[in-house]
Amino acid sequence: MPFRSGSVGLVGRPNTGKSSLLNRILGEKLAIVSPRAQTTRHLLTGVLTTEHCQIAFVDSPGFQTRHRNLLNRTLNRRAGEAARDADVVAFVLEALHFDAADRAALDRVPADRPAVAVLNKVDRVRTPSRLLPFVARVARERQFEAIVPVSAATGRNVPELLRVLASLLPEGPPLYPADQMTDRDERFFAAELLREKLFRLLTDELPYSCEVRVESFREEGRLRRIDATLWVEREAHKPIVLGRGGAMLKRISTEARKDMERMFGGKVFLQVWIKVKRNWSEDARTLRELGYA
């Protein structure tokens, strides 16, 4: 059996479970996940190496056209790159659900790119007999190499998906060392884990106007000292993120710190400040500094 290696872009509209799927495949919580659309803002590579193949999965922001500020346009560009630059596209949708937003995302996948439709969240399908007609429906949308129902939540059928994806990759040696799981460093994950808590704990539109910046990341033996700033766009947002008596900020930073300690395997001392940064999501230079552009 020849060794195969290459990249697979995880693309689709927001909220279909691309990041959850990446985490399930790697057996590690690498990508942040929340019930809200547009939690993912960065391309994130997660590498799976087995005896027969190496697949570099690229998680991407969901393609969407509802919000049109500069940040969202930038995220859409990233989503397009994930589809364009990968050897194979895993187009992730929700089982029994295909709408205009899915189609818009699919339209961004170059026609010459081998694509597999991944029907995620099959654990939620109550009537299995509806799956077959849905597969037929998806097959009419594009010439997919395969259509694979899976559940990122339970892991159902994920091995079959991996087998299909690997078979579509070119023969070749591994591109990453076998023990390397990602292209990102701890500083990146520190910011991401903190942002995940904003997406999970804050309500309404507030998470969308928040951003996280790690100001300093120092390792002292097994202890990591991390200073981070939470940006909000307006003065009125500040007391909401802070919460009564600072309770919300405390909860956000405690939950983030625990996740960091689990991921980094050592104690973390985390300090978080809130800062008003007007219109950061519309400012090209700021977005560049944040690594979005």
Binding site for Mg ion (CB under 5 A): 18-19, 40
154 versus 216: smaller Cβ distance to ligand GDP: 154
Tell me the longest C-alpha to C-alpha distance in the chain.
Answer: 62
Helix or strand (DSSP H, E) at 190: helix 186-201
Amino acid, single-letter form, for residue 263? M
For residue 275, the minimal CB distance to ligand GDP (Å) is 26
CA contacts within 13 A on the Cβ side of 223: 4
SS3 66: coil
> Which entry of ligand GDP, Mg ion, none binds 213, CB below 5 to 8 A by partner kind?
none
Using only C-alpha atoms, the chain has a radius of gyration, in whole angstroms, of 20
Per CB under 6 A, the list member of 5, 64, 74, 120 interacting with ligand GDP is 120
Contact 215, 191 (CB under 8 A): no
Number of residues that bind ligand GDP (CB under 6 A): 20
Sole residue written with tokens 């928040």: 210
Indicate which single residue of 9, 46, 62, 207 sits in contact with ligand GDP (rule: CB under 6 A).
Answer: 62
Question: Would you say 5 or 20 has its CB closer to Mg ion?
Answer: 20
Interaction between residue 153 and ligand GDP (CB under 6 A) = yes
Binder of ligand GDP out of 6, 14, 80, 207 (CB under 6 A): 14
Which of 18/224 has CB closer to ligand GDP?
18
**Given candidates 16, 45, 49, 74, which one binds ligand GDP under the rule CB under 6 A?**
16
The three-point CA angle 233-281-187 to 5° equals 95
- If you search the block for the tokens 């089982």, which residue do you land on? 95
Terminal-residue alpha carbon distance, the chain? 40
**Piece of the chain touching ligand GDP by CB under 6 A; list 100-108, 118-126, 211-219, 261-269:** 118-126
- List interacting residues with ligand GDP (CB under 6 A): 14-20, 33-35, 39-40, 62, 120-121, 123-124, 151-153
